[in-house]
A = this chain, B = another copy of it.
């Protein structure tokens, strides 16, 4: 219970000397004749009245609440995504219910169930659980990146394929001859799998032999990278590759540290391009951890909000891809002017 005696629409009506219906109309912006409207507005101000969202929600079956299901807000990419989602929702008069479901499918399902029956008007999900079967058909939902084969759910993602191509193109442009790809992926299918396709496509186009590490993400990632590195050392200690496209900035940064530990120079000996565009301390003006293919997080979030709130669900594309861009982050040779 928040306020014991919050004024109700009745109090306002009494104060203003009008009927509740009139007050309701004023509140909801319906046309009300001038002397009445003014009296009501005065009464509202005087009593400091605010609509009770529960009563309204009960009546309208609408909450103006959107649930965001996300693994966590610790990861800087998710954190930025959540921030921009909140911003876009607020602009449209919606509030954000935040659900961090990290590694807990039960928690995701619990939010999904709650959402299905009531409480929220829609869901934006960035999830790595297998929740396909728990998604109600008639609930507005938009997913980021993930693909569910058992439901037709509108998806929003970055153009990962182009991003994969772009990473290779950039590495070649900066002088690399042998770019490798280091990938640690989720076990669930999603658009980010296309980074791999982009890499392969670009290699084929340039007549390069693809060479990559492709594993399920796990705590073993570091040791797998270490092994990969050892296997690509020539007897003289030099490496058989001179460019790395990392599946994420995080993995790129791990690999960067590994290379430096082993005495290799970045970007002189090896250049690295990651994916995501994570900035130190999160700030938009801060530097990147590694040169990167940046996802347009703000635009992605805005698009998710736009789609989840769309009037006509039938008009929503089943897949929306937004463009990525390359940005220098210290692990590539500077672009030639």
Q: Chain A residues in contact with chain B, CB under 8 A?
A: 1-4, 6, 48-55, 57-58, 60-63, 65, 72-76, 79-80, 82-83, 86-87, 90, 95-100, 107, 113-121, 136, 138-139, 250, 253, 278, 280-284, 289
Contact = CB atoms under 8 A, between A and B. Distances in A.
Contact of A80 (B74, B278, B283): B74
Contacts of A48: 117
Nearest to A90: B107
A60 B116 CA distance: 22
A55 B58 contact: yes
A97 B100 contact: no
Contacts of A114: 50, 53
Given A52-B58, A289-B280, A138 B4 contact: yes
17 contacts: A2-B116, A2-B117, A3-B136, A3-B139, A52-B118, A58-B58, A73-B79, A75-B282, A75-B283, A76-B281, A82-B82, A86-B98, A95-B97, A97-B97, A97-B98, A280-B289, A281-B289
A139 B1 CA distance: 9
Contacts of A6: 117-118
A284 to B, nearest CB: 8
A301 to B, nearest CB: 12
Nearest to A116: B3
Nearest to A136: B3
A139 to B, nearest CB: 6
A282 B80 CA distance: 12
Query: What are the 3 tightest A-B residue pairs by CB atom distance, in nearest-first order?
Result: A50-B117, A54-B57, A74-B282
B3 A138 contact: yes
Contacts of A280: 253, 280, 289
Contacts of A3: 116-118, 136, 138-139
A55 B280 CA distance: 45
Given A75-B281, A79-B79, A96-B98, A54 B1 contact: no
A94 to B, nearest CB: 11
Query: Which residue among A51, A75, A98 has the maximum number of chain B CB atoms within 10 Å of its CB?
Result: A98
Nearest to A122: B2
Contacts of A74: 76, 79-80, 83, 282-284
Contact of A73 (B61, B82, B289): B82
Contacts of A52: 58, 117-118
Contact of A1 (B61, B99, B100): B61
B58 A54 contact: yes
A115 B75 contact: no
Nearest to A285: B219
Contact of A281 (B2, B4, B250): B250
A2 B54 contact: no
B53 A118 contact: yes
A138 B2 CA distance: 8
Contacts of A138: 3-4
A54 B118 contact: yes
Nearest to A248: B281
A95 B278 CA distance: 28
Contacts of A63: 2, 54
